């Protein structure tokens, strides 16, 4: 539960505040949030130290966004080769050299890594220390460097940006069968010459569906097991059903409403036992990947000793301050989102509040936070879903536009998706939007901008969009809303006016 204590606060303890400080800001963790926080502080000419015990760039660069999107691109190319006959080009069965696919993934990481490197951040004015950081009092961070020894840094403020890590479900035998996660699969499968023949994916959330589709398109026999009645339970059912249908077309076997019981090995190889409305049954596999969630990294950083409350995340107030106002948190460790762009947004606010919060605090506003699932088609959403609006009793109306109305989508052979907008009854203010279709994450940006700055659908409708582009989808959706809200009395007056003008 977020802290809600106004004004300056003090945590428990009798620590003595230093008269002078070595640094203005110490940032613990060099993932998405930590890098942004350190960059902001350096740009403000503060003395800042960034501490990272593992690889620079954190999960996004090394395990998450970057490698998964590189894999998805390879998988999409294989899919296009198989289905080229849709466009009058001879279809071919791609010969997938999986080790070269994985080499492309790691080459992509290596190409982006300089953006997050020690050298770059040092050049920006950030002191980067490799090692483990632990808070010993509200103003002191103890760093155990990789080369040994201990350093103590005093700082006016500290930003905790330690991220999150995948969790394994409490399934008997899961460790014995070598269960992989979105963190470990990139190294574990790096030198595999062929794609694993049989893959079991545990979890039907964003990570699970993205990886399931990618492995299926590369030639694996993929079974996705989800305990909930459908995949992507946080999204509207009509949107999730589009993704489920796409996965099924790509050969993914979806076992929703199934409960995993145990894993094991026998003479026939590895297996998982599942149950669904009847006797348990076993499914054989070569690799199993768990994508059932991620847990914030909270232990080993001295939070408990300082009395900083933690539940599933570090508890903060609306300014991202913990119980100690000079200790802040950002990114996955602070929640509620586990999104790279959310982490960057929070990190900017945390850094600014760490440096200037006692003079001019900035409130963290997360009401307009977009997200995307990078399946094919993509699913992107911002604001309220239709299900959330109903559950919260928020009055709304829904405007839906099928992408078949967008000429570029038709020309591209990608007209199967839709745009769905939620607005208050009779008003053009956007409460939420869901897009299913090609480049949905890109198309959503215009709607995010409109929501963030209070621009209604009339403003989108009045904006010139290039023809023919997929971006016209937002304008067409705004036009659909407008047509539903034409004033019938005004239309009748206009009709009489034009009749009079004709004589």
User: Which CB contacts under 8 angstroms, 24+ apart, belong to 393-398?
Assistant: 394/431, 395/424, 395/425, 396/422, 396/423, 396/424, 396/425, 396/431, 397/422, 397/423, 397/424, 397/425, 397/426, 398/422
Q: What residue ranges in 62-163 does DSSP mark as E strands?
A: 127-137, 140-145, 151-160
Task: Flag the least confident range among 11-20, 51-60, 384-393, 419-428.
Answer: 11-20
| Sheet containing 269-275: order of strands | 259-266, 269-275, 281-285
The pairing of strands 180-181 and 287-290 is parallel
Collapse the DSSP code of 390 into the 3-class scheme (helix H, G, I; strand E, B; otherwise coil) and give the result.
helix
Contact 140, 152 (CB under 8 A): yes
pLDDT at position 467 over 60: yes
pLDDT at position 2 over 60: no
What confidence category does residue 381 fall into, taking pLDDT thresholds of 50, 70 and 90? very high
So what's the pLDDT on residue 146? 79
What CATH class is the domain 1-56+117-165+294-367? Answer: alpha beta
Residues 6 or more apart from 459 whose CB is under 8 A from it?
Answer: 450
Q: pLDDT tens across 159-178, in order?
A: 999 999 999 999 999 999 99
Fold of 377-484: Enolase-like; domain 1 (3.30.390)
So what's the pLDDT on residue 1? 38
Contact 328, 160 (CB under 8 A): yes
pLDDT at position 13 over 90: no
74 phi-psi bin (left φ>0, alpha ψ -120 to 50, beta other): alpha
Q: pLDDT tens across 309-352, in order?
A: 999 999 999 999 999 999 999 999 999 999 999 999 999 999 99
Domain boundaries, the chain: 1-56+117-165+294-367, 168-292, 377-484
Best CA proximity match to 367, nearest among 384, 352, 353: 384
Please determine, looking at this structure, whether the domain spanning 168-292 carries the CATH number 3.50.50.60. Answer: yes
So what's the pLDDT on residue 147? 80
Contact 28, 155 (CB under 8 A): no
So what's the pLDDT on residue 3? 52
Indicate the pTM of the whole model: 0.94
Q: pLDDT tens across 190-235, in order?
A: 999 999 999 999 999 999 999 999 999 999 999 999 999 999 999 9
**DSSP per residue, 414-471:** ----EEEEEE-TT-----EEEEEETTHHHHHHHHHHHHHTT--HHHHHTS---TT-TT
Domains 1-56+117-165+294-367 and 168-292 share a fold: yes
Average pLDDT over residues 128-143: 96
């Amino acid at each position: 539960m977020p802290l809600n204590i106004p004004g300056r606060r003090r945590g428990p303890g009798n620590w003595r505040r230093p008269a002078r400080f070595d640094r203005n800001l110490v940032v613990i963790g060099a993932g998405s949030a930590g890098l942004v926080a350190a960059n902001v502080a350096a740009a403000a000419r503060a003395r800042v130290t960034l501490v990272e015990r593992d690889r620079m760039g954190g999960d996004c660069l090394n395990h998450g966004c970057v490698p998964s999107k590189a894999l998805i691109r390879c998988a999409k190319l294989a899919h296009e080769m198989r289905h080229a006959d849709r466009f009058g080009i001879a279809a071919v069965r791609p010969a997938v050299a999986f080790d070269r696919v994985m080499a492309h993934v790691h080459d992509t990481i290596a190409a982006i890594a300089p953006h997050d490197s020690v050298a770059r951040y040092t050049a920006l004015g950030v002191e980067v220390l490799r090692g483990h950081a632990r808070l010993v009092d509200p103003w002191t961070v103890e760093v155990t460097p990789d080369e040994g020894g201990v350093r103590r840094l005093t700082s006016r403020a500290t930003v905790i940006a330690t991220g999150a890590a995948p969790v394994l479900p409490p399934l008997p035998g899961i460790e014995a069968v070598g269960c992989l996660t979105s963190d470990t699969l990139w190294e574990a499968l790096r030198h595999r010459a062929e794609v694993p023949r049989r893959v079991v994916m545990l979890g039907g959330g964003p990570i699970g569906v993205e990886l399931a589709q990618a492995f299926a398109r590369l030639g694996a026999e993929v079974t996705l097991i989800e305990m909930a009645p459908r995949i992507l339970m946080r999204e509207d059912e009509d949107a999730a059903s589009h993704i489920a249908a796409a996965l099924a077309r790509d050969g993914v076997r979806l076992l929703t409403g199934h409960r995993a019981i145990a894993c094991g090995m026998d003479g026939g190889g590895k297996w998982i036992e599942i149950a669904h409305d009847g006797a348990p049954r076993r499914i054989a596999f070569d690799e199993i990947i768990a994508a059932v969630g991620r847990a914030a990294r909270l232990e080993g950083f001295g939070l408990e000793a300082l009395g900083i409350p933690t539940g599933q995340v570090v508890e903060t107030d609306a300014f991202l301050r913990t119980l100690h106002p000079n200790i802040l948190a950002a990114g996955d460790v602070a929640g509620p989102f586990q999104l790279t762009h959310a982490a960057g947004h929070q990190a900017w606010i945390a850094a600014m509040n760490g440096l200037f919060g006692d003079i001019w605090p900035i409130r963290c506003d997360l009401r307009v936070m977009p997200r995307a699932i990078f399946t094919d088609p993509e699913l992107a959403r911002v604001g309220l879903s239709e299900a959330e609006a109903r559950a919260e009793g928020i009055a709304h109306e829904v405007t839906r536009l099928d992408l078949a109305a967008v000429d570029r989508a038709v020309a591209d052979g990608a007209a199967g998706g839709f745009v769905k907008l939620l607005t208050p009854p009779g008003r053009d203010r956007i409460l939420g939007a869901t897009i299913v279709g090609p480049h949905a994450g890109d198309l959503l940006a215009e709607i995010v901008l409109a929501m963030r700055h209070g621009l209604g659908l009339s403003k989108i409708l009045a904006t010139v969009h290039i023809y023919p582009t997929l971006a016209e989808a937002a304008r067409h959706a705004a036009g659909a809303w407008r047509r539903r809200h034409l004033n019938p009395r005004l239309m009748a007056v206009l009709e009489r006016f034009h009749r009079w003008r004709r004589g």
